[in-house]
Amino acid sequence: MIRFLQKPGPIKKFVLGGLLVIVCVMMVITLVPGGLFGDYLSGGLTTQGVLAKVGDQEIAIQQVAQQARMMGKQQFKGNVPDQLMPYLMQRAAQSMITEKAMVYEADKMGLSVSDDELRDYLHEGQIGQVLFPGGNFIGQQAYEQFISSQFNMSVQQFEQEVKAEIANHKLMAVVGAAVTVSDKDITAEVKRQDTKVKFDYAVLSLDDVKKDIKPSEVELKAFYEANKQSYVNSIPEKIKAKYILIDSKKIADKVEITPDEIQQYYKAHQDDYRIPETVTVRHILIKTPTPDANGKVDQKAVDAARAKAEDIEKQLKAGGNFADLAKKDSEDPGSAKDGGLLPPLTRGRTVPEFEQAAFNTPVGQTTGVIRTSYGFHIIHVEAKQEARLKPLEEVKAEIEPVLKQQKAAAQSQSEANSVQALAKTQGMEKAATERNLSVVTTDLIAQGDPIPGIGPAPEFSNTLFTAKKNDAPAIASAPAGYVVYQVTEVQPPQTPTFDQIKDKVETQFKDQRAQQVLQQKIRELADRAHADHDLAKAAKEAGAAVKTSELVDRTQQVPDIGSMSGPASVAFTMKLGEISSPIQGGQNGVVLQIVEMQEPNPEQMKQDWEKAKETLLEQKREEFQDLYVENLRDRLEKEGKIKINKKEMERLTTLSEGS
């Protein structure tokens, strides 16, 4: 597995083309709770320590606990409060059962994940930057350490989890492909998105209201007592620690790499330096409609798309500029703006018909109209690059830093182990002296505070706060390298007295009272404006400023109001001249009156049609996918493919209710 991870390669296509009709039929069956023949067979699982079984995959309590801890770590950025673990265990259990059910169904539908797809996934995004810095694999040992430290699992388990995630994405892509929207709904969505309004609005500011609130000492003390529970242990736990820093950079500066080591690395990693055959093309795409839920295709739309593509081909043969026509007519949003230009393609990166035409057409030549599952294409070949292996001299400068980093990491780890061993037997100070290092002692610090001599180091800070006072010296990683540390003092969390947080109490009192006063004033303003049907008069009596907006749509901002997609979006549902109810958002209270409305014209409707269609499709896909997953679980339980260990599940429920 590690060897093939070192080689970049194509991501396989998820949508299975001709199988879509069959898949859609399977989905219809799936969406019927219990399927066509389902019986309730989910009982019978009694194995101790196993929470559930999906197909032949067991979900152990230990796995659920591990998943719950990971969820807690992400949510709380450190240690999970003990009282929340039962709740997280419940969430993790349900999530894992659902995920296993989706993987089971994906495999049943032929959507299993290959090693090539896993490899490509791990090359992408943030994890790709960690595992393949500069395109080079970090090495098996570093890979295993990273997976263990970040995910607390083995490489095999991690790769199984990633494959499961990819399979679930495939399943959801196929499920979503069956979704359609009507022209009527699209028309309504375009109007919703593109309608603009202009309005007068009266504004009352929270800051202005707050200036008039002057609480007495008695009121503040009463507020403190009423809210005392929220201040319990609000002064966080603090610790003192001492540590010895093993600076990896200083070690790296002394590391020397020999020509033989570079040569050996190059020979062992030649696949990393192979440049595949590539072709650079421009293309013009005229899309064809996708099959509907019954697998039928609109043949008239297909014929119209072919005719449009053939007309463009005629314009090109008559001397038309390919890039200009691509900008004007191509329906590929990713490349049309660039004149149809695509990034260099390698074999296996696109559909076979497109690949064959691109690689078989000479440089400078243009193909005729070709058809793929996306539609009709015309391709112009800009350039080609033969496959080759980069020579050692070309990549030497890339290899040396990698080897230095590997050597420095190994030496730093070794040095940290030596310092820790000495510190355990001789104490921190003697260990530091013997290795020509120094001991740094912190003041009292809270979790997340910068570490003196190191700076911000969240992971090291979290590690410090898991240690107990006077535990044996331990090793942790830090941004600069490794640290051997020991906690010397622990100050538990404390509840502050009124005098300690009087300023905070006063601020909170004013904020709360100001919100109440603002709500009352803006409600009175709205009531008066409605009674007299005169916003300006009501605003003057309330001491509110009156302003007028520009013509705005839902995506725009208005001063003192903010985004028109928030509470003020009510403006798009109102009639001309109508006065709103009180609107409160952020620091202001507002009442508005519509003075102008503008619906989109036919040209705008046409221009924004596809955007509105995609918005609606995405919404419906999410709804359909949620319904699909819900019914999938129900069906698999009734078919006996999901079996729940009732005793173990009841134990989780009891823990959760008692927390």
Stretch 168-189: mean pLDDT: 87
pLDDT band at 474 (very low <50, low <70, confident <90, very high): very high
How large is the C-alpha radius of gyration of the chain?
32
Q: Look at 159-173, 224-238, 506-520 and tell me which has the smallest mean pLDDT.
A: 159-173
Q: Quote the pLDDT of residue 106.
A: 87
The pair of structure tokens assigned to 203 is 């504004």
Stretch 44-64: mean pLDDT: 83
Q: How many helical (H) and strand (E) elements, i.e. helices and strands, does the chain have?
A: 25, 20
Of 473, 490, 362, 482, residue with least CA distance to 427: 473
Q: Quote the pLDDT of residue 258.
A: 92
What is the phi/psi pair of residue 67, to 5°?
A: -65, -40
Q: Tell me the CATH class for 277-386.
A: alpha beta
Regarding beta strands 196-205 and 238-247, do their DSSP bridges make them parallel or antiparallel, or are they unpaired? unpaired
Q: Which long-range contacts (CB under 8 A, 24 or more apart) does 365-374 make?
A: 366/316, 366/322, 368/313, 369/306, 369/309, 369/310, 369/313, 371/288, 371/306, 373/15, 373/17, 374/285, 374/287, 374/288
Q: Which long-range contacts (CB under 8 A, 24 or more apart) does 636-639 make?
A: 636/54, 636/101, 636/104, 636/105, 637/40, 637/42, 638/33, 638/34, 638/35, 638/38, 638/39, 638/40, 638/41, 638/42, 639/34, 639/35, 639/37, 639/38, 639/39, 639/41
Amino acid at site 224:
Y
Stretch 318-333: mean pLDDT: 94
Q: Quote the pLDDT of residue 125.
A: 73
Q: Which residue has the higher pLDDT, 165 or 322?
A: 322
Strand segments, DSSP code E, in 207-337 are 238-247, 274-275, 278-287
Q: Which residue has the higher pLDDT, 316 or 160?
A: 316
Using CB atoms within 10 Å of the CB of residue 290, give its burial: 0 to 12 exposed, 13 to 18 middle, 19+ buried. Answer: middle
Tell whether the model's pLDDT for residue 24 goes beyond 50.
no
Stretch 31-57: mean pLDDT: 59
Query: Angle of helix 609-638 relative to helix 20-31, nearest 10 degrees?
Result: 60
The pair of structure tokens assigned to 447 is 């979790």
The residues facing 585 across adjacent strands are: 588
What's the rounded Cα separation, in Å, for the pair 491 and 237? 6
Tell whether the model's pLDDT for residue 5 goes beyond 50.
no
The proportion of the chain whose per-residue pLDDT surpasses 70, expressed as a percent, equals 90
Stretch 1-8: mean pLDDT: 36
- Give the range with max mean pLDDT: 101-110, 269-278, 528-537: 528-537
The pair of structure tokens assigned to 533 is 């049907």
Average pLDDT, the chain: 85
User: In Å, how far are 170, 175, 290 from 26, measured between CA atoms?
Assistant: 15, 10, 18
What's the rounded Cα separation, in Å, for the pair 485 and 424? 11
Q: Which helix (H) or strand (E) segment is 590 a member of?
A: strand 588-598
Q: Quote the pLDDT of residue 292.
A: 62
Q: Which residue has the higher pLDDT, 119 or 579?
A: 579
Q: Quote the pLDDT of residue 364.
A: 95
Q: Look at 168-182, 251-265, 309-323, 540-554 and tell me which has the smallest mean pLDDT.
A: 168-182
Q: Quote the pLDDT of residue 285.
A: 95
What's the rounded Cα separation, in Å, for the pair 518 and 513? 9
Are 398 and 133 in contact by the 8 Å Cβ rule? The answer is no
Q: Which residue has the higher pLDDT, 568 or 654?
A: 568
Q: Quote the pLDDT of residue 330.
A: 94
Tell whether the model's pLDDT for residue 261 goes beyond 50.
yes
Half-sphere exposure of 110 (CA within 13 A, CB side): 11
Neighbours of 457 (CB within 10 A): 20
Neighbours of 11 (CB within 10 A): 15
The pair of structure tokens assigned to 504 is 């905070």
Stretch 209-238: mean pLDDT: 93
Q: Tell me the CATH class for 2-180+619-657.
A: mainly alpha
Q: From the centroid of its chain, how far is CA 25?
A: 32
3-state secondary structure of 99: helix
Tell whether the model's pLDDT for residue 3 goes beyond 60.
no
- Tens-digit pLDDT profile for residues 93-140: 888 899 888 888 888 888 878 888 888 888 877 787 788 776 677 878
